[in-house]
Structure 1
Amino acid sequence: MKRQPLRLAIMEATRILDDAGVSSPRTDAELIAAHVLGVERGRLPLVPLVDSPVVDAIGQLVAQRAKRVPLQHLTGWAAMGGITLDVGPGVFVPRPETELLLEWGLKLLRGREYPVVVDLCTGSGALALAVAHAKADAVVYAVDIDSQALAWARHNADARVAAGDTPIRLYSGDIGDPTIFAELDGLVDLVLCNPPYVPPGTAVPPEVSQHDPAHAVFAQEGGLAVIRHAIALSARLLRPGGGLAIEHDDTHGTAVPTLLSARRVLSSVEAHQDLAGRPRFVTARRG
């Protein structure tokens, strides 16, 4: 069987993905190749030649990616913090920019013993499980309103427990319900929230419009409806010195800090940018 240079297969894959409008064609081509080969991306240079079936397998996945099927649906996983989670149809795919929000939250928890953490709109469970992995003594609660998302979160939570992480407490519920988590009022050290926040009618990439659940992406009131609920709930849950971090649309750079500043019990409101320099999340502390 004739062997072929892997670099040529990656170059061809990059060309196809670039022509298809994929935003990071070289990266995606390399990640697909790494997935097919079962190696880490950084080890690809150690695999100079591959068999024809490997090239064919890469080509099949590249063809799907060129149709704008999310890379994470093709590989079956997404990363958050120090863990990977299974993702696929029916659940929002975690994004790299949310890592910054997670980092802020973990920094807040440094030096706190047995902190109570709540992840609102948990989706795949990404933030909750990343916190439980990084902070083994944390008591982590997570909630979502969608049954499909919760099924993915439960699957991922079970996998993390099997890997040795602390279990999280997973709930089905509406964060707009004024009685939700009433037993935690004034006891929570950290609230994290990556809610649906895109204003309806906003143009989004095909990976989002065709594959992410719309209810996990778009929100009414110009994208602020769920964020308003998250702020109201957080103001009730947080203990003095506790912190809140909420991700938002890049058009909300003024609106969300204003909503947080309007809550008397919240202070130290701070806006944060993502790696591209766009407004992406806001943090606050309970006074």
Structure 2
Amino acid sequence: MSTPPPSDAPVEPDLGQIIRAASARLGAAGVVTPDADAELLAAHVLGRSRGELAAAAFRGDRLSAQDAARLEELVVRRAAREPLQHLTGTAPFRHLELRVGPGVFVPRPETEMVAQLAIDALRATAAPAPVAVDLGTGSGALALALATEVPHARVHAAENSVDAFIWAKENFAAHAPHARLAFVDLAQAFPELDGSVSVVVSNPPYVPDEAIPRDPEVRFWDPPAALYGGPDGLDVVRVLSGVALRLLHPGGTLVIEHGEWQGEPIRRLLTADGWRSAATHPDLTTRDRATTALRP
């Protein structure tokens, strides 16, 4: 029996080879986590978990032409430093998967400890249905963490960006339809709650106007209104202090995220406004990340 002549047709690369090539391209483009990003993009295209993707790559599975073209498109966009979360349409935050895209600030892992500070304060409240307010909710990350992890709380969130509000509305509907989302400027938010709130939390814009972020994903894609907070980055924090004094009951807790060098000036600002027990807390990288204070 004769052996058929070898085929001259090119052998298509398998999934593992495609992912390794994508990772190399992303690394060359300056992406900080090229391996993870390549895997997450491939998992997104195939509708699989990273574990399932690893098994498929180990087996030597091959992509269809359609999936290969889709992955190629996403890798090109990621190499141009479009945020990974915009390409997949989701961002993880604690136990949540939030819908995100252009026009909304992508929640960061370091903000998870800010949520924890607010959750701990809310759980420590003796009221059977404590009230919490998230001022400038963006995608809804902080408010939804509170609403889902402290389910007996009544959570209200304010957002004044049309684009961000659209994303937040989708996330509230998916994760906590019982929580309240309002399209309102934080300075005028929720006067009907004055003096009844147990926790106010916010991740305000705190980047000084002249401090241009290094990462293209931040500089070119995050909404400027969610980043920049005036000459010293504290313009919105000053407003927050007054609004939170109005909303919180005596002994209520304020939690503010900020940059690593802003803890001391924020503590001074809050103390001058009459707040008690202002304290700054580090994140998991030991950088100062949030300041808390108690309403007198």
Describe how 1:81-100 pairs up with structure 2 within 5 A.
81-100=94-113
Between the aligned partners of 2:289 and 2:102, the Cα distance in structure 1 is 25
| Contact 2:254-2:293 at 8 Å conserved across structures | yes
User: SS of the counterpart of 2:106?
Assistant: coil
CA contact 2:209–2:232 (8 Å) conserved in 1: yes
TM-score (norm: length of structure 2): 0.87
Alignment of structure 1 residues 107-146 onto 2, 5 Å: 107-110=120-123, 112=125, 113-146=128-161
Number of residue pairs aligned between Structure 1 and Structure 2: 280
Secondary structure of the corresponding residue to residue 134 of structure 2 = strand
Structure with larger Rg: 2
Q: Distance in 1 between matches of 2:226 and 2:95?
A: 24
CA contact (8 A) 2:15 2:63 kept: no
CA distance in 2, matches of 1:137, 1:73: 32
CA-to-aligned-CA distance 1:201-255 (integer Å, 9 cap, x gap): 2121211222111111112131110111111111221123321111112231321
Given the alignment of the two structures, is residue 50 of structure 1 paired with residue 62 of structure 2, yes or no? yes
Question: For residue 280 of structure 1, what is the amino acid of its counterpart?
Answer: R
Give the alignment partner of residue 167 of structure 1, picking from 178, 183, 193. Answer: 178
Superposition pairs of residues 194-209 of structure 1, within 5 angstroms = 194-204=203-213, 205-209=215-219
Q: Is the 8 A contact 1:199 1:222 kept in 2?
A: yes
Distance in 1 between the 2:62 and 2:178 partners? Answer: 41
**1:76–1:87 contact (8 Å) kept in structure 2:** yes
The separation in 1 between residues aligned to 2:200 and 2:141, in whole angstroms, is 14
Deviation at 1:111, TM superposition (A): 5.1
> Structure 1 100/42 Cα, relative in aligned 2: closer, same or farther at 3 Å?
farther
Q: For 1:4-54, what per-residue CA distance to the aligned partner results, in whole angstroms no more than 9, with x for missing partners?
A: 443322222221111111122222122112212212224332212232434
Structure 2 gaps of 5+ residues are 1-9
Residue 26 of structure 1 is aligned with which of 35, 47, 62?
Answer: 35
Taking a change above 3 Å as real, the CA distance of residues 10 and 227 of structure 1, as seen in their structure-2 partners, is: same
CA contact (8 A) 1:193 1:245 kept: yes
Supply the distance in 2 between the matched residues of 1:83 and 1:216 (Cα, whole angstroms).
21
RMSD: 2.0
Compared with structure 1, are the counterparts of its residues 236 and 9 closer, same or farther at alpha carbon in structure 2 (3 Å cutoff)? same
- 1:257-272 superposed matches below 5 A: 257-264=267-274, 266-272=275-281
Tell me, in whole angstroms, the C-alpha distance in 2 between the residues paired with 1:201 and 1:111: 39
TM-score, normalised relative to structure 1: 0.90
Structure 1 residue ranges without an equivalent (≥5) = none
Structure 2 counterpart SS, 1:123: coil
How far apart, CA to CA, are the structure 1 residues paired with 2:250 and 2:35?
47
Tell me the SS of whatever aligns to 1:29: helix
Does the CA contact (< 8 Å) of 1:4 and 1:52 recur in 2? Answer: no
Identity between Structure 1 and Structure 2 (%): 44
Check the 8 A contact 1:176/1:226 in 2, yes or no.
no
Counterparts of 1:1-287 in structure 2 under 5 Å?
4-48=13-57, 49-53=61-65, 54-110=67-123, 112=125, 113-160=128-175, 165-177=176-188, 180-204=189-213, 205-264=215-274, 266-287=275-296
Question: Is 246-255 or 60-69 further displaced after alignment?
Answer: 246-255
Per mean C-alpha deviation after superposition, the further-off stretch among 243-252 and 271-280 is: 271-280
Cα distance in structure 2, aligned partners of 1:159 and 1:241: 33
1:96 is paired with a residue whose SS is coil
Runs of 4+ residues over 4 Å off in structure 1: 1-4
